[in-house]
Amino acid sequence: SQVLAVLGRTMAETIGGLYYMPTIRADAFVCSSMTPEAGEPRLFINVQQFEQSLPVECEDGDSARPTSFTISSDRRRELLPYWVCRLTHAMSENASHFARGGSLEGIYDDAIRQRLCSAIGEVPVGT
């Protein structure tokens, strides 16, 4: 949810669900935009990618069916910029829908870059 806060979006309008699958090719299997049969496009995030890079702490029982997870605080500085880029790229797969909710420029958008720098404790360049 911290990535969504940086992007200025809500969970309900952006995330459709979590899934658990070995990652073979990072871009295609880390996060994808899909449109459920009855609904608007949403992003689906592969939780196993987090486990493979070891920054995640699964919650709510069965790690094969995570319903929520927390990023280790010592890894946020590294992972937030990556996930801002991944989610922005995945949203561009359905740009006509996701553009209604805000910028699709990711870290190239001044407001998003300011929020990202604030979240990871850095001073934005040029300030």
- DSSP collapsed to 3 states, 108-126: HCHHHHHHHHHHHCCCCCC
DSSP codes of every residue in 13-71: HHEEEEE----SSHHHHHEEEE--SSS--EEEEEHHHHHHTS-EEE-SS-TTS-S-EEE
Taking only the tens of pLDDT, the chain with its 127 residues reads 677 788 888 888 888 888 888 776 666 678 888 887 778 888 888 877 766 665 655 555 555 555 555 666 777 788 888 888 888 888 888 888 888 877 788 878 888 888 888 888 876 665 5
Query: pTM for this structure?
Result: 0.71
